[in-house]
């Protein structure tokens, strides 16, 4: 089951999606071992508070490492002013569970996707909960998120 706000947002957007129930997961390592999906199609959502009391959600391939300098530059923040949203803040402000952040403009959040996300066909991502995964066409997700794109990750090393 999706969180009510995410379900309402997706229903109003008129896009097709599937919800997959599973045991709770909070990390990419958990997801790779528990979920039957292609790890290369998994997208994580990272939430960051902005100075104007709003939030930004960064969507990136789950296996990629965030480059906080690039994220700060994209959001118009100095690296030293960029911080991840605390778990209790995620619940209180975005109304989603930590580990279940979905890259959608829920509760006034803005969304920025890493460039590698647009290479995907299908995305498996957070649903607002840790015991369900949202499956959605990448083109639909990025369209309804009204998002921007930027290079937000660290370069991959040969062993990744």
Distance CA 30, CA 37 (A): 12
**Residue 106 · residue 98 · CB < 8 Å:** no
pLDDT (0 to 100) of residue 31:
85
Dump pLDDT digits (tens) for 26-82.
788 888 888 888 889 999 999 999 988 899 999 999 999 999 999 999 999 998 889
Query: Helix 4-13 and helix 138-145: axis angle, to 10°?
Result: 100
Q: Domains (ranges, CATH) in the chain? A: 4-150 (3.90.960.10)
pTM: 0.91
Q: How many helices (H) and strands (E) does the chain have?
A: 5, 7
Output the DSSP codes for 57-75. Answer: EEEEETTSPB-HHHHHHHH
Residue of higher predicted confidence among 3 and 105: 105
Which spans in the chain are helix H?
A: 4-13, 28-34, 68-75, 87-89, 138-145
């Amino acid at each position: 089951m999706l969180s009510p706000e995410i379900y309402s947002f997706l229903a109003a957007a008129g896009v097709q999606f599937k919800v997959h129930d599973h045991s709770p997961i909070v990390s990419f390592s958990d997801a790779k071992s528990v979920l039957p999906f292609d790890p290369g199609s998994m997208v994580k959502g990272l939430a960051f508070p902005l100075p104007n009391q709003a939030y930004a959600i960064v969507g990136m391939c789950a296996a990629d490492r965030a480059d906080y300098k690039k994220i700060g530059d994209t959001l118009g923040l100095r690296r030293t002013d960029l911080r991840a949203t605390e778990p209790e803040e995620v619940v209180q402000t975005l109304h989603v569970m930590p580990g279940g952040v979905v890259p959608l403009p829920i509760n006034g959040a803005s969304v920025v996707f890493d460039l590698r996300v647009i290479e995907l066909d299908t995305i498996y991502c957070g649903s607002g909960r840790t015991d369900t995964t949202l499956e959605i066409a990448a083109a639909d997700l990025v369209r309804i998120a009204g998002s921007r794109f930027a290079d937000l990750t660290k370069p991959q090393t040969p062993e990744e």
